[in-house]
Amino acid sequence: MKTNDLILQTVTKIIIFLILAFSLHLFFAGHYTPGGGFIGGLMTAAALVLLLLAFDAKTVNKIFPIDFIQVAAIGLLIAVLTGIGSFFFDVPFLTQTFGYFDLPILGKTGLATAVLFDIGVYLVVIGVTMTIIQTIGEDE
Amino acid sequence: MSLLHWAILSPFIMALFVPFFYKYFRKIHTGWFVLILPIILFTYFFQFISETMNGRNIYETVPWIPSIGINFSAYLDGLGLLFALLITGIGALVILYSIYYLSKEKEALHNFYIYLLMFMGAMLGVVLSDNVLVLYTFWELTSLSSFLLIGYWYQREKSRYGAQKSMLITVFGGLAMLAGFILLSIMTNTFSIREMISQVATLPEHTLFIPAMLLVLLGAFTKSAQFPFHIWLPDAMEAPTPVSAYLHSATMVKAGIYLVARFSPIFAGSFEWFWIVSSVGIITLFWGSFTAVKQTDLKSILAFSTISQLGMIMSLLGLGSAALHYDHLDKNIYMAATVAAVFHLINHATFKGSLFMVVGIVDHETGTRDIRKLGGLMGVMPITFTLAVIGTFAMAGIPPFNGFLSKEMFFTGVVNAAKLGIFNMETWGLLFPIIAWIASVFTFIYSMILVFKTFTGNYQPEKLDVKPHEAPIGMLIPPIILASLVIIFGPFANILSQSIIEPAMASIQPSLLGENGTYHVHLYYWHGWNIEIFMTMGVIALGTIMFITLLKWSKIYDVFPKRLTLNKLYDGGLVALERSSYKLNKFYMTGFIRDYLVMIFAFMIVVLLSSLFIKDAFAFTTTNSAPIGIYEVVLALVMVAATVAILFAKSRLTSIISLGVVGYSVSLFFVLFRAPDLALTQLIVETVSVALFLLCFYHLPELKLKPKPLSFRLPNLVISLGVGTVVTLLALSANGTKLFDSISSYFVEASYKEAGGKNMVNVILVDFRGFDTLFEIAVLCIAALGIFTMIRLRLTRGKEG
């Protein structure tokens, strides 16, 4: 008997955007309210896991044709590069700074270099979680 | 670097060139090239005799590790010169002998001469070093090169056994000696022996004095084959005979004698030194000569004879130390013992060296060293026989050879010792002449066995592998030289007294120098009808009778049980050591991780609990504690219930779910204690790990799928309760003793001002302590890659199939 996952798949299609949006919110709000790269990354990964549960691994691979090991590696690279970047300003490794800018749409916004570092964390967490789950899932 | 330093180092430099000589001049025996060096060195050292005779000592120093006071300082005085002459002189003769003894076609000559040169240099370094640590360095080099020389024929099992045995025993002593040297340098604040001697007045009161003395003596006794460390010497006879002649009769075994003589000025005044050195020496003398009689192998006889003679020299050095207590007397009779020691040292080197060479000739020409097969060689090998007679008669103490004179002086020493008024010698002193006399009788017997069983009696050519004939002249020259010295040093002993013995005495007993700073030693070959001459006559008479009736009384050797010999003790000890360490390792290295965990946790409990109570560190106050609310209590109860459920769950699924309950309650605790970031992360991480646990559970092999509760083990209960208690106690005391305020107020102020963030946790993670985060994400990457490779790269998959 072929199982019919229609409800699950439909709900997933809607809810995944909510989860992704929430995870992005968690990520970007991290500097001011609870959240940040780690929890944001986990939440994004959770969205992808939900996709994996509702559809099979092949479909997910078609939608996101990404090698998640590379995602983790890129994340690590970004984190290291933000640290090295501080050398150009003649300050110690991983020194962060911030400033307030008037952006066209958003108005006055605080931008911190720490967010760049957090992007690294975010990507590593997604990459690591997805690598582990995919590897175990595809194992026989 | 002075010439003296180069003289010490020259054998090492020469050893570097030996392989080239061996490789490029195959036609010429390598020994000829090597021979040049000891001859040059001997003549070089010979010219110093006039210096030391006049009391002028040479001191040259080169910094080696000056920051900690280790200098390569060479010090040439009477004692050092005597040994240097022995080393180079006998070294030259032994090398000449070895040229004829070792075949250039069959033997690995380059190895032999490299080891021998190494040994010669090391030995020169031992006797000429003033710095104790440099002395120790050379001392260990002698042990090492002796090890290599004993194991020269490494294909033979017995050679390897003997080499290992000598290595273990002498290195054991060497390390003890190093400890003694370090104690000495702690007491005196210097590494120089001369400076130690200059501080000798204050040393005996020091608490480290006796330990230092015992440790130094341990080194000397093991090296000089004193009882009970003598057992390595007979087994070292597996070495080629030139090695036995050189190392195990003339030089290396005298390193211990040298050490005792060298440190006499420091230690000899004490009661313990006198007793230990003289009684160990006299026991060794008796035991060596007693055991030598029952040996059937010529080299074994000589080995035990060497042990016995070294014991004699040692006991003379001990007895001579009594002289220090009688410095008010004009005619100090106890000094005679030290003179006898130095004189016998020279004599022993001459006759024992020649005897070893004679035995080597017999071995070389007949193919055996077993006295039961030998006999009647007198007619075949007349020169060798003559040499053997001279050597053995000197050893037995028969006039007109030098051994007679040193034996007389030895008897004088022990007879004087019996008259000593100090150190309780009134009661025990009489034992010394008695034991010495009995030992001399046995010495006489084995000397006679050595010469008469080999050279007289029935000629048994059928028992020999080769047809014996006289040795080549080159092989005979070295023993002839030594034998002529044996004869010359007998009646004309006084040529030694001024040139060699007096300067050596000045080094051994510097506090007893006469008015003009020198000794006056005069050796009389004939000293009238006194007790010593009657003792010698008794030795000869009784010895002759016992030699003739040897077969009748030699059964007494069987009375002594074979199981109780020192060799059995050594072998058994080694086996027991190996076995017990194997058992010990087997006992605690079980291979079960639960046993190791028990050990780790038990250790943790013991260390933490004991330090908690010894330091009286337990403190419990409620002043820092916050009030406990109803939510915390309820949540804690839930957690405890879940934890208990894990322990008593029948199925694994229950355990996993309970673990999930614990994890979610922890995240609720985070909520209660106002840590939203932690709560979020904990929730998701807990979910993921529970899912992973379920995955593991699902894949458990079906074979043992019988769900059963945790089996009960009392030690596990005790240990887990212990760990829980200890950690709780520690946490309570840590909370009770907060010594300073937290630094968190800084983060509260700075997180917005300096980092532009309001989420303090996140600011700390990415900004203040971003470095930690960087490596935490690296850890995550490594974990992911690990899982990926473990699952994808299963190289054994096909094989197990």
Whether residue B705 has pLDDT greater than 60 = no
CA distances from A115 to A98, A121, B261, B579, B767 (A): 10, 10, 80, 64, 10
- Binary contact (A36, B765; C-beta < 8 A): yes
Asked whether B777 and A120 are in contact (CB, 8 A), the reply is: yes
Residue of A81, A96, A113 best to disrupt the B interface, most CBs of B under 10 A? A96
Q: Could you count the other beta carbons within 10 Å of the beta carbon of residue B60?
A: 16
CA distances from B449 to B5, B356, B442, B628 (A): 45, 15, 10, 98
Asked whether B134 and B204 are in contact (CB, 8 A), the reply is: no
Distance, in Å, from the CA atom of B195 to the CA atom of B608, rounded to the nearest integer, reads 48
Quote the pLDDT of residue B516.
52
**Is B763 an interface residue toward A (CB < 8 Å)?**
yes
**Is B3 an interface residue toward A (CB < 8 Å)?**
no
Extents of the domains making up chain A: 5-138
User: Which range, A12-26, B376-390, B446-460, has the best average confidence (pLDDT)?
Assistant: A12-26
Confidence of residue B722 (pLDDT cuts 50, 70, 90): very high
A124 to chain B: nearest residue by CA? B777
Distance, in Å, from the CA atom of B8 to the CA atom of B122, rounded to the nearest integer, reads 8
- Binary contact (B784, A132; C-beta < 8 A): yes
Residues B281-319 pLDDT 10s: 988 998 888 888 888 888 888 899 999 999 999 988 888
A67 or B470, greater pLDDT: A67
- Evaluate whether residue B404 is within a structural domain: yes
Whether residue B703 has pLDDT greater than 70 = no
Query: Are residues B527 and B596 both part of a single domain?
Result: no
Which tokens sit at B586? 């087997």
Query: Are residues B529 and B606 both part of a single domain?
Result: no
In the Cβ-directed half-sphere of B629, how many Cα atoms lie within 13 Å?
Answer: 6
Distance, in angstroms, between B740 CA and closest chain A CA?
28
Q: Of A96-110, B307-321, B567-581, B698-712, which range is least confident?
A: B698-712
Q: What is the torsion angle, in degrees rounded to the nearest 10, for the CA atoms of residue B497, residue B500, residue B506 and residue B509?
A: -80
Asked whether B677 and B761 are in contact (CB, 8 A), the reply is: yes
Which of B756, B761, B783 has the CB atom closest to A98's CB atom? B756
**Coil vs helix vs strand at B400:** coil
- Binary contact (B695, A76; C-beta < 8 A): no
Whether residue B564 has pLDDT greater than 70 = no
Counting Cβ atoms within 10 Å, is residue A14 exposed (0-12), middle (13-18) or buried (19+)?
exposed
Which positions in chain A touch B784 (Cβ < 8 Å)? 69, 72, 127-128, 131-132
B603 or B333, greater pLDDT: B603
Query: Are residues B613 and B625 both part of a single domain?
Result: yes
- Binary contact (B680, A35; C-beta < 8 A): yes
Stretch 730-759 of chain B: residues touching chain A, C-beta under 8 Å? 755-759
Query: Are residues B476 and B607 both part of a single domain?
Result: no
Residue of B695, B774, B789, B792 best to disrupt the A interface, most CBs of A under 10 A? B774
Asked whether B61 and B73 are in contact (CB, 8 A), the reply is: yes
Helices and strands per DSSP (H, E), number in chain A: 5, 2
Query: Are residues B524 and B637 both part of a single domain?
Result: no
Query: Are residues B350 and B460 both part of a single domain?
Result: yes
Which residues make Cβ contacts (< 8 Å) with residue B541, sequence separation at least 6?
A: none
Identify the DSSP state of B226.
-
- Tally of domains in chain B: 3
- Evaluate whether residue B499 is within a structural domain: yes
Residues B100-156 pLDDT 10s: 888 877 888 888 899 999 999 999 999 998 899 999 999 999 999 999 999 888 888
Which positions in chain B touch A33 (Cβ < 8 Å)? 758-759
Distance, in angstroms, between A11 CA and closest chain B CA?
21
User: Which range, A18-22, B291-295, B523-527, has the best average confidence (pLDDT)?
Assistant: A18-22
Confidence of residue B801 (pLDDT cuts 50, 70, 90): very low
Domain that residue B691 falls in: 592-701+713-739
- Binary contact (B758, A33; C-beta < 8 A): yes
Residue of A49, A94, A101, A116 best to disrupt the B interface, most CBs of B under 10 A? A94
Task: Give the CA angle between residues B16, B165, B125 to the nearest 5°.
Answer: 40
**Is B764 an interface residue toward A (CB < 8 Å)?**
no
Query: Are residues B469 and B327 both part of a single domain?
Result: yes
Query: Are residues B518 and B455 both part of a single domain?
Result: yes
Whether residue B272 has pLDDT greater than 50 = yes
Which tokens sit at B33? 């090239």
Query: Are residues B483 and B386 both part of a single domain?
Result: yes
Asked whether B417 and B515 are in contact (CB, 8 A), the reply is: no
- Binary contact (A128, B784; C-beta < 8 A): yes
A116 to chain B: nearest residue by CA? B766
Average pLDDT, chain A: 85
Inter-chain Cβ pairs, chain A and chain B, closer than 8 A: 119
From B487, B302, B468, B270, select the one nearest B378 (Cα to Cα).
B468
Residues B236-259 pLDDT 10s: 888 888 888 888 777 888 989 999
From B500, B505, B502, B507, select the one nearest B197 (Cα to Cα).
B507
**Coil vs helix vs strand at B328:** coil
Which positions in chain B touch A94 (Cβ < 8 Å)? 770-771, 774
- Binary contact (A31, B759; C-beta < 8 A): yes
Supply the angle between the helices B593-614 and B714-736 in degrees, to the nearest 10.
40
A29 to chain B: nearest residue by CA? B759
**Coil vs helix vs strand at B73:** strand
Q: Of A1-15, A118-132, B172-186, B451-465, which range is least confident?
A: B451-465
Asked whether B275 and B427 are in contact (CB, 8 A), the reply is: no
Distance, in angstroms, between B706 CA and closest chain A CA?
24
In which residue are the tokens 């050490």 written?
B259
Distance, in Å, from the CA atom of B652 to the CA atom of B236, rounded to the nearest integer, reads 67
Which residues make Cβ contacts (< 8 Å) with residue B79, sequence separation at least 6?
A: B127, B258, B261, B262, B503, B504, B507, B508
Distance, in Å, from the CA atom of B624 to the CA atom of B733, rounded to the nearest integer, reads 11
- Evaluate whether residue B624 is within a structural domain: yes
Which positions in chain B touch A32 (Cβ < 8 Å)? 757-759
Which positions in chain A touch B676 (Cβ < 8 Å)? 34
Q: Could you count the other beta carbons within 10 Å of the beta carbon of residue B119?
A: 27
Q: Of B153-167, B233-247, B529-543, B657-671, which range is least confident?
A: B529-543
Query: Are residues B531 and B644 both part of a single domain?
Result: no
Distance, in Å, from the CA atom of B291 to the CA atom of B466, rounded to the nearest integer, reads 30
Quote the pLDDT of residue B248.
78
- Binary contact (B758, A32; C-beta < 8 A): yes
The amino acid present at B134, given as its one-letter code, is V
Asked whether B321 and B273 are in contact (CB, 8 A), the reply is: yes
What percentage of chain B reaches a pLDDT higher than 90?
A: 19
Query: Are residues B514 and B413 both part of a single domain?
Result: yes
- Binary contact (B759, A131; C-beta < 8 A): no
- Binary contact (B780, A72; C-beta < 8 A): yes
Q: Single out the residue in B541, B558, B575 at which a domain terminates.
A: B558
- Binary contact (B677, A136; C-beta < 8 A): no
ipTM: 0.91
- Binary contact (A38, B788; C-beta < 8 A): no
Query: Are residues B611 and B649 both part of a single domain?
Result: yes
Residues B573-611 pLDDT 10s: 889 999 999 999 998 888 888 889 999 999 999 999 999
**Complete DSSP assignment for B513-546:** --TTSS------S---S-HHHHHHHHHHHHHHHH
Confidence of residue A70 (pLDDT cuts 50, 70, 90): very high
- Evaluate whether residue B121 is within a structural domain: no
Q: Which residues of A touch B (CB under 8 A)?
A: 26, 30-39, 42-43, 46, 69, 72-73, 75-76, 79-80, 83, 93-94, 96, 98-99, 110, 112, 114, 117-118, 120-121, 124-125, 127-129, 131-132, 135-136, 139
Whether residue A134 has pLDDT greater than 90 = no
